[in-house]
Amino acid sequence: MTSAIRAETRRAERRRRIERRRRRAVATVTATLSACVMIVSGALLASGATGSGGDPQAQGVGSASARGATPQTASPTPTPTPTSSPTPSESENDAEFCPGEVADAIESGDSEAVVVVAGGGEAFRDAVVSGRADGCIALDHPAWQWIVVNKRRPIQPENFAPELVEPATYSPIGAHLAPNAADALDEMTRAAQEAGVGDIGLESGYRSYEAQVEAYDAQILARGSEEAADETSARPGYSEHQLGLAADLVACEAGTCGSIYDFEGTPQQQWIAENAAEFGWIVRYTGTETGTTGYESEPWHLRFVGAELATAYVEGGYDTFEDFWGLPAAPDYD
Ligand SMILES: [Zn+2]
């Protein structure tokens, strides 16, 4: 096969994969509407749809351990918190975006389905950035794949814990991820193997709030100050890993994996940099925009946002998730 034919074949495979995901996403909306597992339209979406707005203890890490755990989003009694509810805009544009198909998809609880019925990643981004989606989409709710967490945007509630499963992808420590992220990781690592670039392992996935407190306190002890600890460790509640949507990848061979610091420059890393978006992942910290993210280059740290948004991110040429959403830079903690 010539390289041109190979490239065309890859493009065709990619189109087929995205099309399959679209169909799955739309099928999800149809299938789950009647179940009405979550009401997150309007103000509830941005406030307390995890059902714990007023009672963070209700969803400590212990509640989110195993496959099949009740998703936080399925709580039947969402309690809006007074502080983070968006003020529904009365502009006519809002009336166009939020009701109808988008509202149905929101009710299904499937992030990818919401983006698909909104017209795809770029259309969804545009609606959010322009404010047309203000009445029903918020970038700070941990139940949705589009959430932005950075040094100025901590996770709320601080001890949020997602539903978790163990991906099939090899993980030396048995790391867990949110179900959609786990499936997408498995699909991606299988595709990497099939492409002949070798094995990819999951060094780290979900980290509980409590685990972060321990790690951060240990860093303060070891390094002598919060400032010094901040250089190596995200503060508790400020890590994407707590969402179950972040994966630190390593290159493996014959069952032995390197460290995250060995990942750069491996065939696996190069393949990931080129292909991750197709599977819904973005390389979150490329090191080119440290002034925006507050993080140096981390080619191993991937964030799951769904195939639609990841594709729009890459095709739009964005360097940071902050820029993608038109959010202010977050180089350091407030
Ligand atoms: Zn990471």
Per-residue pLDDT at 261 = 96
Instruction: Give tens-digit pLDDT for 9-34.
Output: 666 666 666 676 666 666 655 544 43
244 pLDDT tier (thresholds 50, 70, 90): very high
For residues 237-257, give the mean pLDDT: 96
CB atoms within 10 A of CB 99: 14
DSSP, res 302: E
* 302 C-alpha to ligand 1 centroid (Å): 7
226 close to 277: Cβ distance less than 8 angstroms: no
Alpha helices (H) along the chain: 3-32, 42-46, 92-97, 101-108, 111-117, 121-130, 179-194, 209-223, 226-230, 267-275, 290-293, 307-315, 321-324
* 326 C-alpha to ligand 1 centroid (Å): 23
* 185 C-alpha to ligand 1 centroid (Å): 14
Is residue 79 predicted with pLDDT exceeding 70? no
317 pLDDT tier (thresholds 50, 70, 90): very high
- The two tokens of residue 279 are 């599977």
Per-residue pLDDT at 218 = 94
Which residue ranges make up each domain of the chain?
Answer: 179-206+244-324
* 70 C-alpha to ligand 1 centroid (Å): 25
Average pLDDT along the chain: 81
* 316 backbone dihedrals φ, ψ, rounded to 5°: -80, -5
Is residue 331 predicted with pLDDT exceeding 70? yes
Per-residue pLDDT at 255 = 87
For residues 216-221, give the mean pLDDT: 94
| Residues classed as catalytic | 298
Is residue 5 predicted with pLDDT exceeding 90? no
Nearest alpha carbon to residue 181 among 33, 302, 24: 302
* 195 C-alpha to ligand 1 centroid (Å): 25
Is residue 208 predicted with pLDDT exceeding 60? yes
For residues 226-247, give the mean pLDDT: 92
Residue range 179-206+244-324 forms a domain whose CATH class is alpha beta
Per-residue pLDDT at 27 = 60
Per-residue pLDDT at 106 = 96
CA distance linking residue 320 with residue 314, whole number of Å: 10
Which amino acid is present at 173? I
53 close to 157: Cβ distance less than 8 angstroms: yes
CA dihedral 134, 136, 139, 144 (to 10 degrees): -170
Instruction: Give tens-digit pLDDT for 101-119.
Output: 999 999 999 999 999 999 9
Strand pairing report for 246-253 and 199-204: antiparallel
pTM tops 0.75, yes or no = yes
Instruction: Give tens-digit pLDDT for 32-73.
Output: 443 322 323 333 333 333 333 333 333 333 333 333 333 333
Chain CA centroid to CA 188, Å: 15
CB atoms within 10 A of CB 312: 22
Instruction: Give tens-digit pLDDT for 177-198.
Output: 999 999 999 999 999 999 999 9
For residues 269-292, give the mean pLDDT: 96
Instruction: Give tens-digit pLDDT for 137-163.
Output: 999 999 999 999 999 999 999 999 999
